[in-house]
Structure 1
Amino acid sequence: MAVSHILGDIVAPLNTVLFDFGHDAVTWAELLGFATGAVCVWLTVRARIANFPVGIANNLFFLVLFWNAQLYADATLQVVYLMLAAVGWWSWLHGGERRSARKMGHASARTIVVLLLLAVPATWGLTVVLTRAQDSAPFWDALTTVLSLAAQWLLNTKSYETWYFWIAADLVYIPLYFVKALYLTGIVYVLFLTMCLLGLRSWRRELVADRSTAAAALVRS
């Protein structure tokens, strides 16, 4: 696959420059992915826009890790995340009314239905592609890729429902990485799952507080 060759050319020098310090490359990638990933999710839980640049660094580290583990969909997903992170960064800054900062809110029922309907053929199609590419876990790799892309889309629009998709993806990621002997990454995703649950609660509280403030302002007016 042409994309595979291109990504291979990207990953090889990254691996040499970033991780070749006389130690195992995957271990370094896992450690750096752990650090940046944990910070990124924590910033997202706090609804801080800094989650995007930290997330971009995390994408680079995981790109190397997943490519070495032959999880090609996860590796390619990191490249997609780089582009989506740039879009999300702009959206949080200027995606509100009159290009103001975007406010936290809910995704429409139509958006959720469309994402769920698209997930089925997208997972099937990606599974076929990954099977031909000799991916080590084609179906599960495809499923987590599709769930993660949907979650990232909702995060970019600062929608509360993003947490449900991240949680669903993490519940698949955790056993997948342990089976692949990526133990540190598996532990990282247990942490991510815990933080996603905290994010679900934190964002719900903020939405309730915003509604209360808006209702109070309406009464005063």
Structure 2
Amino acid sequence: MSLTELLAALLSAAGVWLTAKRQLACWPVSLVAALLYGWVFFTARLYADAALQAIFCGCLLYGWWQWKTDATQGDATLHIRSLSTYNACAGLLAGLVGGGLWTFCLARFTDDPTPLADAMLSSYSIVAQLWAGRRHTASWLMWIVIDTAYVLLFLTRDLYPTAVLYAFFIGLAFQGLMRWRAAEKTDQRLA
């Protein structure tokens, strides 16, 4: 365990907690955490996860902009949006195709010890992050599945603080799911 990993874990937890509460501050906090984790994963030879952190930075900037834009349009409450069946299927298919391509590259060109798990989890994490940026409740369901698999992956790479963090993320994801479902019902009643 390094100080960088510990700081990244703490900031990540704070970012997820703020996201569950629909607080705009979640985006800059998560951005710093992603930068730190990029380094942690690179040094652990989890190359897809290191690259994922760079992609997350872009997704986090998008989410930050999206939430900030929505918040400045006169309503301080950030409303939950429904995820259409088409967009859900498109996201799941994009995650599968992206994960397959990423697996091929990692297996062929790197010494990644777990290319399939690394690639698929990274690919679906992008989908989940984009869904969170668009405020789709389904993002929390995706995070529950992804974080559970990540706990197992990080244990195999001896990243124990990160494994504990991701176990904690599972609980935060359940909390986020419950909060966002309640907010979605309220938003639908007010519409």
| TM score, norm. by length of structure 2 | 0.93
What amino acid does structure 2 have at the position aligned with 1:76? Answer: A
Match for residue 119 of structure 1? 95
**Deviation of the 1:120 alpha carbon:** 2.1
Match for residue 58 of structure 1? 33
Deviates most, 54-63 or 96-105: 96-105
Q: Summarize the alignment of residues 21-32 of structure 1 with structure 2, pairs less than 5 Å apart.
A: 27-32=2-7
Question: In the superposition, relative to structure 1, how do residues 32 and 212 fare at CA in structure 2: closer, same or farther (>3 Å)?
Answer: same
- The structure having more radius of gyration, on CA atoms, is 1
Q: Summarize the alignment of residues 71-220 of structure 1 with structure 2, pairs less than 5 Å apart.
A: 71-95=46-70, 103-132=79-108, 133-214=110-191
Per-residue deviation, residues 39-71 of structure 1 (Å, max 9, x unmatched): 001001101111100001101110111001000
Match for residue 36 of structure 1? 11
Three-state SS of the structure 1 residue aligned to 2:135 is coil
| TM score, norm. by length of structure 1 | 0.81
Deviates most, 78-87 or 98-107: 98-107
Question: In the superposition, relative to structure 1, how do residues 105 and 127 fare at CA in structure 2: closer, same or farther (>3 Å)?
Answer: same
Sequence identity (%): 30
Three-state SS of the structure 2 residue aligned to 1:153 is helix
Deviates most, 92-101 or 199-208: 92-101
Q: Does structure 1 retain, via aligned residues, the 8 Å contact 2:79–2:183? A: no
Q: Does structure 2 retain, via aligned residues, the 8 Å contact 1:96–1:103? A: no
Separation of aligned partners in 1, 2:101 and 2:74 = 37
Three-state SS of the structure 2 residue aligned to 1:167 is helix
Structure 2: 5+ residue runs without aligned partners? none
Separation of aligned partners in 2, 1:175 and 1:154 = 24
Q: Does structure 1 retain, via aligned residues, the 8 Å contact 2:21–2:179? A: yes
- Cα-Cα RMSD: 1.8
**Deviation of the 1:119 alpha carbon:** 2.2
- Count the aligned residue pairs: 189
2:23 to 44, 48, 56: 48
Separation of aligned partners in 1, 2:96 and 2:187 = 35
Q: Does structure 1 retain, via aligned residues, the 8 Å contact 2:107–2:115? A: yes
**Deviation of the 1:96 alpha carbon:** 7.8
What amino acid does structure 2 have at the position aligned with 1:144? Answer: L
Separation of aligned partners in 2, 1:114 and 1:141 = 21
Separation of aligned partners in 1, 2:132 and 2:83 = 10
Separation of aligned partners in 2, 1:71 and 1:202 = 32
Per-residue deviation, residues 83-116 of structure 1 (Å, max 9, x unmatched): 1111111111214896977521211111001111
Structure 1: 5+ residue runs without aligned partners? 1-25, 215-221
Q: Does structure 1 retain, via aligned residues, the 8 Å contact 2:12–2:30? A: yes
